[in-house]
């Protein structure tokens, strides 16, 4: 158990809908990262937050947004869902914003299925 | 697309044998981390090696890093059936420290 929690574990929804994925980082970690894992794209970085502020952005679609709250939990919002958004969404956390010893620990993931 | 490439893509060995997986990347890195993933589940952090380190050990795991060749290897010694999983390397390459993942190696350890 990494200490990172994600809810829900599974989500099944229809095209065009909007969903919210939630992540609670390990105690004491200030950075939260979101990654997407799909069969065709592999594991891809979406976005990072550090202590409530957006830190880095990756291949995140405009239909997707995220935020980190004062209690450091984070939410990833996916809207106007398409079939191709079906994937495993992982959250990871680390103590710092960066640094050579900044290990990232992953949550169990949310499996999103868009029908 | 991913920056890292791993080989082999799949590896099948007998329990007790050693397993070696390789990872190559394209640009300078800050650090490189190895993760294990069991069939569609979460990623388990195995080991981190910094760009100025050449070798690290953790239990039955040995990781090497050759920055001149832009490559890393993960050795699992005395493999067990429970080691069956996909293994990913992931590098941080710039000031953002986001992880760039390789394509992964699927390891099957036969009992």
Under the banding of pLDDT at 50, 70 and 90, the label for residue B96 is: low
Determine the residue of chain A that is closest to B47 in CA distance.
Answer: A103
- Give yes or no for A64 touching B (CB within 8 A): no
Residues near B62 by Cβ (< 8 Å), separated by ≥ 6?
Answer: B55, B56, B74, B75, B77
- Distance from the B82 Cα atom to the nearest Cα atom in chain A, whole angstroms: 16
pLDDT tens for residues A88-115?
A: 999 999 987 776 677 889 999 999 999 9
B2 touches chain A (CB under 8 A): yes
How many CB atoms lie under 10 A from the CB of residue B108? 14
Q: Which residues in chain A show pLDDT less than 70? A: 99-100
Backbone angles phi, psi at A85, to 5 degrees: -85, -10
Instruction: Tell me the pLDDT tens digit for each residue of B48-79.
Output: 999 999 999 999 999 999 999 999 999 999 99
Nearest chain A residue (CA) to B51? A100
Per-window interface: A 73-102 vs B, CB < 8 A: 88, 90, 92, 97-102
Which of B31, B44, B101 has its CB closest to that of A42? B101
Q: Which residues contact residue B53 at a Cβ distance below 8 angstroms, ignoring those fewer than 6 apart?
A: B65
User: Tokens at residue B81, please?
Assistant: 């059936």
pLDDT of residue B4 exceeding 70, the answer is no
B2, B40, B51: residue with CB nearest A42: B2
Residue B3 above 60 pLDDT?
no
| Cβ contact A42–B50 (<8 Å) | no
Contact A101 B90 (CB under 8 A): no
CA angle B59, B60, B66 (to 5 degrees): 100
**What residues in A contact B42, CB-CB < 8 Å?**
2, 90, 106-109
């Amino acid at each position: 158990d990494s200490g990172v929690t994600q809810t829900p574990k599974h989500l099944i929804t229809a095209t065009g809908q909007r969903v919210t994925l939630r992540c609670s980082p390990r105690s004491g970690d200030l950075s939260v990262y979101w990654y997407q894992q799909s069969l065709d794209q592999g594991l891809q970085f979406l976005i990072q937050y550090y202590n409530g502020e957006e830190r880095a952005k990756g291949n995140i679609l405009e239909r997707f947004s995220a935020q980190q709250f004062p209690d450091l939990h984070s939410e990833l919002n996916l809207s106007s869902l398409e079939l191709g958004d079906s994937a495993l969404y992982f959250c990871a956390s680390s103590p710092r914003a960066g640094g050579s010893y900044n290990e990232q620990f992953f949550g169990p993931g949310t499996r999103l299925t868009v029908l | 697309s991913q920056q890292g490439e791993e080989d082999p893509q799949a590896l099948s060995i007998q329990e007790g044998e050693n397993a070696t997986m390789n990872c190559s990347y394209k640009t300078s890195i800050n650090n490189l981390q190895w993760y294990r993933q069991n069939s569609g589940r979460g990623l388990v952090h195995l080991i981190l090696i910094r760009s100025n380190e050449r070798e690290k050990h953790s239990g039955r795991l040995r990781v090497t890093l050759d920055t001149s060749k832009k490559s890393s290897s993960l050795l699992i010694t005395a493999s067990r059936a429970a080691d069956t999983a996909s293994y990913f390397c992931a590098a941080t390459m710039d000031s953002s420290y986001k992880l760039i993942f390789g394509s992964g190696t699927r390891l099957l350890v036969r009992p």
